[in-house]
Copies of this chain bind each other. A is one copy, B any other.
């Protein structure tokens, strides 16, 4: 049992949730998807998130190598985000999650 506790503190699931385990991060990753997206568009698509929280979450995703930020020296300044290879690998997994939800969402309303 001591071994199991040790495993759980260090397990990939715990590490995964430390990386993407917020309500917003998977939605941000899903919203960026395969495109290069402007900050304002990500914010508009997500709708319910504040700009402050979105900025913080994107910064953490960038620090974890999931999102790449590119700032263009224009007037007005333009900042765009893409998923890195590491981030792109999450898309099919997040798709499985949404398929799981859709299956049961339909079932719940039958």
Query: A: which residues have CB within 8 A of B?
Result: 1, 4-5, 8-9, 11-24, 26-27, 30-31, 41, 44-48, 65, 86, 89-90, 93-94, 96-102, 104-105, 108
Contacts and interface: CB of A to CB of B under 8 A. Distances in A.
A101 B15 contact: yes
Interface of A is mostly: helix
B98 A11 contact: yes
A104 B65 contact: yes
A102 B17 contact: no
A97 B93 CA distance: 7
Contacts of A89: 100
A13 B89 CA distance: 16
